[in-house]
Structure 1
Amino acid sequence: MPRTNEYGQTIGDAVPGWTIRAEPQKVTLIGRTCRLEPLEAKHTNDLYASYSQSNDGRDFTYLAIEAFKNIEELRNYVEKTVKEPGRFSFAIIHASGKAVGMISLLRADRVNGSVEVGRVVFSPLLKQSIASTEAQYLLMAYVFDGLGYRRYEWKCDTFHAQSRRAAERLGFTFEGIFRKVIVVKGRNRDSAWFSIIDSDWPKIKEAFQKWLAPENFDAEGRQIKRLQNIQKNIENIVFT
């Protein structure tokens, strides 16, 4: 039943014992197929070699940055990134030991327990891999289980169909389109907003763990059950 105050007005649920949450830290998050470690200049060579696997710049169309033309551009970007206030960036390290992508936590609102995942720059060596999904899971687990945040946001260009599909696959809920949010690369960007909240997390976490389990992959590393199918099965078990 909805809560009401002494005036009969409907009000939000109580949040008993809520306290300001800690700021994200430079931590290393270890999984089965990858690990996330704080981004540093030492990752530049591996990252440049990984991004150089692309034949063109299409992976950067919807990002605020352009494809790196040379290693110096990437080195400057990494050096600037690690110094940027309020941004907590990680290098994604593949089982090979090489850095194959970057991901960041942004706009941490400690008072209200909200943070955004963004600046996701995956190389061809990472895309559509087990590690790419596990990297997302590791960061979510850090935010919800490690820091106790209430809300985890994903925002992307409304025309970025691949990013929108990824958000939905990972369990994010679509919240709507925010119009004329920014001007990027000389053009307008309307942003699609998605979120996972703390009450969503237990089911999403369970689905990730089942999907990531070694027995969910065959000898060639191909998934047996899709993540979204596992999520739907968990929801049916919970609500029927």
Structure 2
Amino acid sequence: MNINQFDQRVGEALPDWQPVARPSCALLIGQHCLLMPLSVDHAEAILQAFMLAPDDRDWTWLGAERPTTLAQMQSWIAEKVMNAALVSFAVCTLAEQPCGVVCFASIEPEHGTIEIGHVTWSPLMQRSAKGSEAIFLLLKQAFEPGYRRVAWRCDSTNIASRAAAERLGFRFEGRLRQVMIRKKRNRDSDWLSIIDCEWPAIQRALSNWLNADNFTGSGQQKCPLSTCFAAINEDDFRR
């Protein structure tokens, strides 16, 4: 507990804190996927990947409808690329085939906080490690230069999104009610996060799971991620 000169409880002192740099949109290389700076040039490949889905269910909680023409996809991508508040990536196979999109958002270098959002995966990423590794690469990109908190938020009815975040080590913080109206529906938002003191243990668990030795030649995992997390002592997640 921290007490100030007025006998009041206050937050932990950070006398040496310095703002961190805004993350760059640079190529990030993993063992299962690549994150490349998103470009309108990716539109045709991303459109083809998204059109592999039989319906629009993966777009239920997103702000946009699924683009169905090249012009619509170019516009959808351009909005992200031109938005100065975002750092946007195309998730690609190791052969550089785009198969998803993800962004950094709500970037506040002065506070060391950042959010992973605009997560839009195609069927090409299903039943593979690409999605998990894409988030892992972004977490590394955030924590290595000194960010203190990486957030994840989702529609409270999007059970799959929250479960995916928790599977990767994000911790549920709470629910903000009636935050917005999206697609003429009310949205309550669930907030989750990983903070810097938790990251070393989470990084070890994710690194162990993503190791090439943990996957068969056909891409099937040998040891589940939950087992890798179970091997990390709970005390490692705390100061």
TM-score where L is the length of structure 2: 0.95
Where does residue 124 of structure 2 map in the other structure?
Answer: 125
Deviates more, 1:23-32 or 1:132-141: 23-32
What is the rounded CA distance, in whole Å, between the counterparts of 2:155 and 2:235 in structure 1?
Answer: 34
Shift of 1:11: 1.9
Where does residue 220 of structure 1 map in the other structure?
Answer: 218
What is the rounded CA distance, in whole Å, between the counterparts of 2:198 and 2:236 in structure 1?
Answer: 12
For 2:7, what is the secondary structure of its paired residue? Answer: coil
Question: In structure 2, do the counterparts of structure 1 residues 11 and 37 end up closer, same or farther at CA, with 3 Å as the change threshold?
Answer: same
Within 5 Å, give how 1:64-103 maps onto structure 2.
64-103=63-102
What is the rounded CA distance, in whole Å, between the counterparts of 1:175 and 1:29 in structure 2?
Answer: 29
Residue identity opposite 1:223 in structure 2: Q
What is the rounded CA distance, in whole Å, between the counterparts of 2:116 and 2:103 in structure 1?
Answer: 6
Where does residue 137 of structure 1 map in the other structure?
Answer: 136
1:7 pairs with 2:10: no
What is the rounded CA distance, in whole Å, between the counterparts of 2:220 and 2:235 in structure 1?
Answer: 26
Deviates more, 1:109-118 or 1:220-229: 220-229
What is the rounded CA distance, in whole Å, between the counterparts of 1:238 and 1:69 in structure 2?
Answer: 46
Match of 2:170 among 172, 175, 187: 172
What is the rounded CA distance, in whole Å, between the counterparts of 2:104 and 2:49 in structure 1?
Answer: 22
Shift of 1:236: 5.1
Deviates more, 1:54-63 or 1:40-49: 40-49
Where does residue 184 of structure 1 map in the other structure?
Answer: 182
Q: Once the two structures are aligned, what percentage of the paired residues are identical?
A: 36
Residue identity opposite 1:123 in structure 2: S
What is the rounded CA distance, in whole Å, between the counterparts of 1:104 and 1:151 in structure 2?
Answer: 16
Deviates more, 1:210-219 or 1:98-107: 210-219
For 1:78, what is the secondary structure of its paired residue? Answer: helix
Deviates more, 1:114-123 or 1:20-29: 20-29
What is the rounded CA distance, in whole Å, between the counterparts of 2:43 and 2:162 in structure 1?
Answer: 28
For 2:95, what is the secondary structure of its paired residue? Answer: coil
What is the rounded CA distance, in whole Å, between the counterparts of 2:187 and 2:65 in structure 1?
Answer: 16
What is the rounded CA distance, in whole Å, between the counterparts of 1:134 and 1:109 in structure 2?
Answer: 24
- Across the aligned residues of Structure 1 and Structure 2, the Cα RMSD in angstroms comes to 1.4
What is the rounded CA distance, in whole Å, between the counterparts of 2:53 and 2:233 in structure 1?
Answer: 38
Q: How many residues in Structure 1 have an aligned counterpart in Structure 2?
A: 237
Unaligned runs of 5+ in 1: none
Shift of 1:68: 1.1
Maintained 8 Å contact 2:31/2:212: no
TM-score where L is the length of structure 1: 0.95
Deviation by residue 1:194-234 (Cα, 9 ceiling, x = unmatched): 00000110000001110011121233321122112211211
What is the rounded CA distance, in whole Å, between the counterparts of 2:13 and 2:210 in structure 1?
Answer: 35
Question: In structure 2, do the counterparts of structure 1 residues 191 and 215 end up closer, same or farther at CA, with 3 Å as the change threshold?
Answer: same
Within 5 Å, give how 1:47-62 maps onto structure 2.
47-62=46-61
